[in-house]
Amino acid sequence: MEYLIGIQGPDFVLVAADNVAAHSIIQIKHDYDKMFKLSEKILLLCVGEAGDTVQFAEYIQKNVQLYKMRNGYELSPAAAANFTRKNLADYLRSRTPYHVNLLLAGYDATDGPGLYYMDYLSALAQAPFAAHGYGAFLTLSILDRYYRPDLTRDEAVELLKKCVEELNKRFILNLRSFTVRLIDKEGIHDLEKLPLV
């Protein structure tokens, strides 16, 4: 029902998420932001079971900020991703596992951009592009076909638009709008919401 997508370029990561908060058959909110800012250059995109998403994401968010306060410097995206994975794995075999699917996108000064795919079983993989949700079935092959490691920012946005077009065409649900953000060495930038009217 929900959709997340991330595309990594040579010096940026482009991420997008749909804006629908649904409860059974009703959309209760049309402008819901599923991205959580962990630090100046790291975004956590979180979908899954109602309530679990916000609880888990905010927990990670506050812990990453606490690390910065205690140590004076921020966690790198790789460290944040592994920290998130560890927490998810610890809760997995407890009485209260978190059922959340995540994308973590960040830019590191030394390592460059990074996109991490994590699912509710706490499997972690770094990938050049990734998607979550039923929409992923429709769009991953588009990404496979057209992705190149040396995409420019505009090309990446065009690729994202192709994916959104496909969803609008073939996906049974009406995902009216998507929040789009880009992370590069300058930080997190908000781009125009898709689809453009």
C-beta of 10 vs 51, nearer to other proteins: 51
- Rounded to 5 degrees, φ, ψ at 27 are -85, 110
Least distance between other proteins and beta carbon 21 (Å): 6
Beta strands in the chain (DSSP E): 4-8, 12-18, 21-23, 26-29, 35-39, 42-48, 100-108, 112-118, 124-126, 129-132, 178-184, 187-190
Give CA–CA dist 51/77, Å, rounded. 24
CB of 50 to other proteins, least distance (A): 4
Beta carbon of residue 32, minimum distance to other proteins (angstroms, whole number): 7
Q: Which residues bind other proteins (CB under 8 A)?
A: 21, 23-26, 28-29, 32, 49-52, 54-55, 96
Element holding 86 (H helix, E strand): helix 77-92
CB of 119 to other proteins, least distance (A): 20
